[in-house]
Each structure stands twice: as structure tokens, then as C-alpha cells.
Homo-oligomer: A and B are copies of this chain.
């Protein structure tokens, strides 16, 4: 592959993350092309269909999340690492997880695999924190991941004031701490 082609591909993916992240799948391919500074034909040469472009954008995005998750797994204090990871995923890393809802019921295997790796990474961080006894044992990564996804998605669609989001995350963290049975 020629070097300019490689560069364009990267610029298209970056533009796509921006556009689809902001407008959801309603974002148009032409907008992506304009933002990337290329012609629309170039977009379709690299990604034969809009769906392909979305898929590649998602995989790229999840790969970025995976890096953050890996870093958390290696941090010294397990519980602090977990809470920091939760904040991190919700506030910075996962800005465009909304994308995940764009493929509906049948996401392509590559995306499922990438998302699964991230979830597995979060699971590892969670278990390590549970082992310290500071985090409840009776909840698993499914619940945590659901909550992360939910807040990420919602704040992406309609941003909440940072202070509100912070306190909402506090509530979740308090709910995950030990010292209280199942809520009710």
C-alpha cells in the first residue's frame, strides 16, 4: 500500500470517529470525507460500504479502550485502579461507545471480539479489586459493564454537567463497595 493511501486511511478513521461519535450513524459519509480532507470516492475505496467504515471505527475505538484497561490491570492499588478505570472509561475513553449501539442486533465478529477483550480486561481489574475485600463479591463484570455502557452512552448523547456525572459515578462506586448487602 502506498504511503499516502495509508495516511488517508488513518485520517478517514479519525474523521469517522469524530462524525459518528457526534451524530451517531446519521452522520454522512460525505461529512467524514470533508473532515478528512479527501474525496468521497477515497472513503469508499478504503471502506467499500458505510457499514464497513463504522465497523473499522469501532474496532479502532475498542482497541484504544483495551490499552487503558490493560494499564489499570497493572496499577499497584487494585481498588483505586478499578475506580479510576470506571471514571476513565466513562469520562474520557469511551466517549463514543454510542457507536456500539449502531450495529444493532448483529454486530460483526471483529467488533464483538474487540468489545469482548475490553470486557475481559475490566473483569480482570474487577476481580483483583474484589480480592482485596473492598468490593462486593455478589456482583460481576456484567453489572459493572452495563452501568459503564449506560452512563457513557447517555452522556454522549446528551451531556450531563460534570459535577452531576461525578456524583452519579460516586453513587455507583459506593454501591460497589462492601459494607452493605444487596440494596433494597
Residues of B within 8 A of A52 (CB): none
A171-B176, A177-B180 given as contacts; is B154 within 8 A of A149 (CB)? yes
With a 10 A CB-CB cut-off, give which of A160, A172, A183 has the most chain B CB atoms: A183
Q: Which of B138, B153, B171, B181 contacts A183 (CB 8 A)?
A: B171
Is A120's CB within 8 Å of the partner chain B? Answer: no
Interface status of A21 (Cβ within 8 A of chain B): no
Cβ-closest chain B residue relative to A141: B164
Chain B CB within 8 A of A168 CB: yes
Contact-size category for A? 35 or more
| Copies per complex of this chain | 2
Across the interface, name the chain B residue whose C-beta is closest to A80. B184
A74 CB-CB contact with B under 8 Å: no
Q: How far is the CA of A161 from the CA of B155 in the complex (A)?
A: 23
Minimum CB–CB distance from A96 to chain B (whole Å) comes to 14
Mark A126-160 against chain B: 1 for CB-CB distance below 8 A, else 0: 00000000001011101100110111011101101
Which residues of A line the B interface, CB within 8 A? 83, 100-101, 136, 138-140, 142-143, 146-147, 149-151, 153-155, 157-158, 160-161, 164-165, 167-177, 179-184
